């Protein structure tokens, strides 16, 4: 599959997986497979989440958790990092295939664009789900949350 086709498919899949919210108990979810062929150890997905005021108040932070849905493989795990400005946080789903999300990580950076990186620790495909929420300063109110994909694969690809 050509890179541009794969990128369009991933963007469509992430957009389709994003769920609108209904109150505080809502979730925004996205998922994909890192390195479907299983041959690239440094396969990385990069997305951005825009946190803003959708009428429920200004955003104060981004919360993220990740789940590895693939069968367990020793030493093959998925990680998520979030950063904005000069702040960053990260977590690994340390038990692949157990149907449980990692602990939630938070980055308090106010409104604006947060960057999310998802990667794996070795060769092999990894199917993952990501939950992400922009939250107000009270720590509970879900605020405006939009996601986009910037990269899915190796850091540089030259189609020539």
Q: What is the pLDDT of residues 2-50, one digit of tens each?
A: 444 444 444 434 433 333 322 333 468 888 899 999 999 889 999 999 9
Rounded distance, CA 90 to CA 117, Å? 9
pLDDT score recorded for residue 2: 45
Calculate the average pLDDT of the chain: 82
Number of domains in the chain: 1
Rounded distance, CA 155 to CA 10, Å? 16
Whether 115 is in a domain gets the answer: yes
Whether 158 is in a domain gets the answer: no
Whether 39 is in a domain gets the answer: yes
Given a contact cutoff of 8 angstroms between Cβ atoms, the answer to whether 133 and 108 are in contact is: no
Whether 159 is in a domain gets the answer: no
C-alpha atoms less than 13 angstroms from C-alpha of 133 in its C-beta half-sphere? 20
Whether 7 is in a domain gets the answer: yes
Q: Measure the CA dihedral 66/53/151/11, to 10°.
A: 80
Whether 160 is in a domain gets the answer: no
Q: What pTM was computed for the model?
A: 0.79
Select the more confidently predicted residue: 158 or 94.
Answer: 94
Interval 56-115: pLDDT, tens: 999 999 999 999 999 999 989 999 999 999 999 999 999 988 889 999 999 999 999 999
CATH number reported for the structural domain that contains residue 90 in this entry: 2.60.120.380
Q: In what order do the strands lie in the sheet with 105-107?
A: 28-34, 126-135, 61-68, 105-107
pLDDT score recorded for residue 30: 86
Given a contact cutoff of 8 angstroms between Cβ atoms, the answer to whether 39 and 153 are in contact is: no
Q: Which domain holds residue 101?
A: 3-153
């Amino acid at each position: 599959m050509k890179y541009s086709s794969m990128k369009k498919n991933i963007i469509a899949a992430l957009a389709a997986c994003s769920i609108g919210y209904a109150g505080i108990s809502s979730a925004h979810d996205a998922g994909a497979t890192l390195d479907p062929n299983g041959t690239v150890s440094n396969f990385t997905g990069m997305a951005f989440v825009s946190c803003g005021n959708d009428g429920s108040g200004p955003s104060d932070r981004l919360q993220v958790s990740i789940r590895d849905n693939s069968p367990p493989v020793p030493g093959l795990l998925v990680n998520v990092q979030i950063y904005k400005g000069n702040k960053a946080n990260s977590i690994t789903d340390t038990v692949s295939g157990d149907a449980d999300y990692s602990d939630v990580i938070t980055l308090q950076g106010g409104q604006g664009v947060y960057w999310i990186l998802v990667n794996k620790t070795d060769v092999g495909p990894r199917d993952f789900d990501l939950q992400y929420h922009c939250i107000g300063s009270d720590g509970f109110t879900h605020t405006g949350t939009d996601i986009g994909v910037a990269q899915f694969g190796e850091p540089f690809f030259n189609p020539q």
